[in-house]
């Protein structure tokens, strides 16, 4: 009996899939977006900040990428982001190496830009890097990953910084709320995230996030 239980538990642990949003979780791009949008629309940084925060409250709005950036503006956004220092959350990326579960990035950013920011070594941490050019929505990307890897949606743990992601991923019942962790170093504050997630699922530091992921994975 014990052997059977052990086998089942090892099997379940093996199935866990960790999926990370990119902007605001792995990359500190908030200020770059504010600067880019303010310059593009010739508006104040305050107005731009408000727009960016509101924009990611819902993922069903026409995306910033589609409405403002498009291919024409991508080089401009690229240069704004690349000129900034310390964009990557390297501490988180380094710590993710210790976590031996399959990982993916599912983002609404441009895949090429994500890959420019990540070194080859960092890219290899992830089995998939999906930007908006690879899938029409985050739900679609998650479904694809599950299908390709024969894992269930129930096995996913998703990490995000925005209310919009939580609404999109739980809206159609794709994920349950307890499969989502929020982080407060991105585009949305703890107060905003608490409108959609329990306080205990919102992380303030990389260390807290890594420890929580490790705990959830070992409990499965
Ligand atoms: Mg984000």
Looking at domain 2-28+87-219, which CATH architecture does it have?
3-Layer(aba) Sandwich (3.40)
Q: Cα of 86 to ligand 1 centre, how many Å?
A: 17
Distance from C-alpha of 163 to C-alpha of 32, rounded to nearest angstrom: 20
What does the pLDDT average to over 15-33? Answer: 93
The residue extents of the domains of the chain are 2-28+87-219, 30-83
Its pTM surpasses 0.85: yes
pLDDT, residue 26, reads 98
Q: Cα of 6 to ligand 1 centre, how many Å?
A: 37
**Across the chain, which distance is largest between two alpha carbons, in Å?**
68
pLDDT, residue 72, reads 57
Picking from 189, 131, 196, 202, the residue whose alpha carbon sits closest to that of residue 170 is 196
160-177 pLDDT, tens per residue? 999 999 999 999 899 999
Q: Cα of 4 to ligand 1 centre, how many Å?
A: 40
pLDDT, residue 7, reads 45
Residues with CB under 5 A from ligand 1 (ion): 21, 23-24, 161-162
Buried b (16+ CB within 10 A) or exposed e, 79-104: ebbeeeeebebeebbebbeeeebbbb
DSSP state of 29: -
Q: Cα of 160 to ligand 1 centre, how many Å?
A: 6
Is residue 144 pLDDT above 60, yes or no? yes
55-66 pLDDT, tens per residue? 899 887 666 656
pLDDT, residue 24, reads 97
Helix-, strand-, coil-residue percentages of the chain, each rounded to 5: 55, 10, 35
């Amino acid at each position: 009996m014990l052997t059977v239980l052990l086998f089942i538990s090892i099997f379940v642990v093996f199935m866990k899939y960790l999926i990370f949003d990119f902007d605001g979780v792995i990359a500190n791009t908030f200020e770059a977006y504010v600067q880019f949008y303010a310059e593009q629309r010739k508006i104040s940084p305050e107005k731009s900040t408000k727009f960016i925060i509101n924009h990611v409250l819902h993922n069903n709005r026409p995306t910033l990428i589609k409405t403002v950036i498009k291919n024409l503006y991508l080089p401009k956004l690229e240069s704004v982001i690349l000129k900034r220092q310390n964009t990557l959350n390297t501490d988180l990326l380094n710590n993710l190496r210790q976590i031996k579960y399959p990982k993916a990035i599912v983002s609404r950013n441009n895949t090429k830009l994500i890959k420019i920011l990540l070194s080859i070594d960092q890219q290899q941490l992830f089995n998939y890097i999906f930007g908006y050019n690879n899938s029409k929505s985050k739900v679609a990307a998650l479904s694809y990953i599950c299908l390709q890897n024969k894992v269930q949606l129930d096995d996913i743990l998703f990490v995000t910084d925005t209310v919009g992601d939580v609404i999109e991923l739980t809206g159609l019942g794709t994920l349950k709320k307890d499969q989502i962790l929020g982080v407060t170093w991105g585009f949305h504050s703890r107060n905003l995230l608490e409108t959609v997630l329990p306080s205990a699922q919102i992380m303030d530091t990389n260390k807290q996030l890594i420890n929580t992921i490790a705990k959830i994975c070992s409990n499965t």
